[in-house]
Copies of this chain bind each other. A is one copy, B any other.
Amino acid sequence: MRKRSRYFAREELKKSGYKVTPARTAIIDLLSNSKKHLSAEDIFLKIHNISPNIGLTTVYRTLEVLVETGMVCKLDFGDRRARYEFSQGIEKEKHHHHLVCTNCNRIIDYTDFIEDEIELLKKTEKGLSKKYKFEIKNHIIQFYGLCNECRKKII
């Protein structure tokens, strides 16, 4: 499983003219095994335990490359720190959207209602591409509000 995504990633990098390096492999491995939305620093720290010679700068640069090839999604939850996760469809990742608590910054992934959402999105995407001659590559749907705990606390 890990090997498969690693192989996939190698090919994907080469296809885009990038070199396959230890840093890139390590970050791909980490992300492909992680369920969460990790920040660049999260990734740096985890990698650091295994390969202390990979710097934070390289993590940023690698993430940029991975986003560019479409292997990784860059997410923004409103705190000013980007999060990264493996794109849907690379493994058997389920497509999901996010609920973001504006108080505690907790993120809930949901897959409920996704089918309807996807269907609508496809339709919308098609219409928009045509009307605005826009080549749509990605979308974001996020709901912001208060999670159960924070709702109680704040009252």
Where the two chains meet, the residues of A that have a C-beta atom closer than 8 Å to any C-beta of B are 74, 76, 78, 80, 99, 101-102, 108, 110, 112-113, 116-117, 120, 123-125, 127-128, 131-148, 151
Contacts and interface: CB of A to CB of B under 8 A. Distances in A.
A132 B144 contact: no
B141 A113 contact: no
A84 to B, nearest CB: 13
A128 B110 CA distance: 8
Contacts of A132: 99, 108, 110, 147-148
A54 to B, nearest CB: 24
Given A102-B137, A141-B141, 16 more contacts: A76-B76, A99-B132, A101-B134, A110-B128, A110-B132, A112-B128, A113-B124, A116-B123, A117-B124, A134-B143, A134-B147, A134-B151, A135-B151, A136-B143, A137-B144, A138-B143
A122 to B, nearest CB: 11
